[in-house]
Structure 1
Amino acid sequence: MSRVVKVSEEYVAISYKDRIKKIPREYFGGVDISVGDIVEIKKNGREFTIYPSYDGMDFATEPYISTKKIVFWFILFYPVGFYLLYKRNRKSKYDRKEVAKNGKTFFTVSCVLLVFAGLGFFSCIANGEFSTAFSALVYFVPAGLFLNYKGSNMIAEGKRYDAYYTLVVGQEESLLRELSLATGYTKETIREDLERMIELKIFERGTYLDERIGEIVLPNRKSFATREKERLATAVFHTVKCPACGASKKIEVGKIDKCDYCQKPIG
């Protein structure tokens, strides 16, 4: 694996075996690549994987922390469990598919902690160890409730992220009002989520929100205003007479509009 040290229009320079190797930019096609990213070139020389480096962390070298390991440390000494959970979340939050998955890990750990709290409490009560029973609740319950709340939110957040990504990237929906109609979420919720996704670089670099229009704009993709202008330039219009008041209006063929005077639908 090699780290990207320079990116230009002609080549991408990577550190390779204690030296700098320049690779033609076209080798990477249209893939977005930046200084600091880790590049893994497959043995066949034709395939590669880009691991972005966020928050000073290399995705390629950061070890994966299993749920079993996290649960073990939460039971043994939960501050260590919290640290491991933080490290795993720090890495996976940049991947929309991992957000909900990581939320399920939070939820699973919370259930384990609450079960242990209940078992410990009733076991101590049965043995007459009331102070120990109280300690079991204090030790496990707050962490369990916090992780339960956090996990539930992350699962819901991951589902929203996945829905937005599918609509924006896959179906080229860009207007917040259209995303709201498609998902059922409010425009304010969608705006906050999209801003967060842009911050986490879940979308391509260069993506931004046009607050004036209420649209998410991806690089190398035309904005809604541009697409609409191009569409109207080739659209066919005809004059329609309102059946209610008799007023005439020029509208696009195949479209339904409202009369300017009586507001009745015409088309």
Structure 2
Amino acid sequence: MEINITSKHSLIINIIIGKISSIFGWILTLFFTMGLVAIALDDMANESFTLIFFLIFVIIGIWLIMFGIRRKKLIRRFKEYEQIISSENETSINNIANITFQSSDFVMDDIQTMINKKLFTNVFIDKNDKRIIFEKRNDSVKTTYDETASISIHKEMSVVKCSGCGAPNKIPKGSSSECEFCGSPIVSNERY
């Protein structure tokens, strides 16, 4: 069974954001740098407001270029992590760090950033074990349907924090289940 851990939509959006930032940054930097040179050649250097105005836009342009470069590097590292996780079935942060020649703390923070940016989907980091956990889908708990009347019966759900990995889980009130992320037993103490 293949597990989809990548959001193609988020990947494309992040690539586009990086490219647009770099292009717009280069345009701002070049345009306002030429303006600064023109001001210096025209002996308008005594007009401090104009100098500051142009300098601010040069700084913004340089920041956008750096933002685009950082986004491009993030996407490159994401593709490398995805390859390691998918092809080699590697879920240990320490092993991924060894393969990529990075520190395990850097890799863990990097992958968490990618999860937050929705590049990785259906994954969770167990910080205690320094391991990537694939989210398990438990479709049997969701909603049951009365087939004769086509009326849906919704169970009241409660959110229970797993004592093993700390992940939030939705389970029916007053029932027990296992954590979607690590498989530890969880119990809802709430009643109907």
Which structure has more RCO (C-alpha within 8 Å, separation ≥ 6)?
Answer: 2
- Residue 187 of structure 1: aligned partner: 104
2:83 to 166, 176, 180: 166
> Following the alignment from structure 2 to structure 1, what is the Cα–Cα distance between the partners of residues 26 and 108?
32
The alignment's TM-score, normalised by the length of structure 2, stands at 0.57
1:106 to 21, 24, 27: 21
1:103, 1:151 within 8 Å by CA — same for their partners in 2? yes
- Residue 33 of structure 2: aligned partner: 118
CA offset at residue 111 of structure 1? 1.8
The alignment's TM-score, normalised by the length of structure 1, stands at 0.43
CA offset at residue 142 of structure 1? 2.2
Let me know the Cα RMSD of the aligned residues. 3.0
Q: Equivalent residues in 2 for 1:1-267 (5 A)? A: 95-130=10-45, 131=47, 134-205=51-122, 207-220=123-136
Output the amino acid matched with 2:25: S
Find the structure with the greater CA-based Rg: 1
- Residues 170 and 103 of structure 1, relative CA distance in 2, 3 Å threshold: same
SS at match of 1:202: coil
> Following the alignment from structure 2 to structure 1, what is the Cα–Cα distance between the partners of residues 111 and 77?
10
CA offset at residue 211 of structure 1? 2.2
SS at match of 1:117: helix
**Cα deviation 1:43-67 (Å, max 9, x = unaligned):** xxxxxxxxx9xxxxxxxxxxxxxxx
CA offset at residue 129 of structure 1? 2.4
2:36, 2:55 within 8 Å by CA — same for their partners in 1? no
CA offset at residue 154 of structure 1? 1.4
Gaps of 5+ in 2: 138-192
- Residues 116 and 104 of structure 1, relative CA distance in 2, 3 Å threshold: same
CA offset at residue 201 of structure 1? 3.2
> Following the alignment from structure 2 to structure 1, what is the Cα–Cα distance between the partners of residues 59 and 83?
36
4+ residue runs of structure 1 moved beyond 3 angstroms? none
CA offset at residue 202 of structure 1? 2.6
Output the amino acid matched with 1:140: F
> Following the alignment from structure 1 to structure 2, what is the Cα–Cα distance between the partners of residues 113 and 165?
34
Output the amino acid matched with 1:211: K
CA offset at residue 212 of structure 1? 2.7
